[in-house]
Each structure stands twice: as C-alpha cells, then as structure tokens.
Amino acid sequence: MPKIKSKSAAKKRFRFTGTGKVISAQAGKRHGMIKRTNKQIRNQRGTTILTPQDARIVRTFLPYG
C-alpha cells in the first residue's frame, strides 16, 4: 500500500512533543498589535499546546507525525 501524504501547510505550522501533544505558534500575533493590550502581547509569546479537539484534526493532516 502507498503511504498517505501529509498536508504541506500542516508540516510548516505544527510540531509534536515527545509525549505526542501538538505544538503551534500563538494566534493573533501577525498584525494589529496597537489595539491589543501589552498583557495580551506578552502572553502570546512563544508557542502553545493545542487543545485535544484541535489536535485530533491536526493528526489527520500529519499521519506519520
């Protein structure tokens, strides 16, 4: 049987931790920083772990992740 292709967009946006959780960049940091509070900008630094509902969708995009 042939292998299942991974979604190229998902390969660029998501990674897996050692325990199998899905890591992604924080949402809401691309533009419009002037209307966000400083606290919100600080809390959106770095990466975040996806919720189990969202992680289930990403796993279908990355079958061998």
Instruction: Per-residue pLDDT tens, the chain, 65 aa: give them.
Output: 999 999 999 999 999 999 999 999 999 999 999 999 999 999 999 999 999 999 999 999 999 97
> What is the Cα–Cα distance from 34 to 53, expressed in whole angstroms?
31
Query: What is the enclosing helix (H) or strand (E) of 16?
Result: strand 14-16
**Bridge partners (DSSP) listed for residue 49:** 23
Position 34 scores a pLDDT of 96
What's the domain range around 13?
8-61
Residues in the chain: 65
* Domain presence at residue 19: yes
Position 40 scores a pLDDT of 96
* Domain presence at residue 3: no
Position 14 scores a pLDDT of 98
**Number of domains present in the structure of the chain:** 1
CA 64, chain centre distance (Å): 16
Position 65 scores a pLDDT of 79
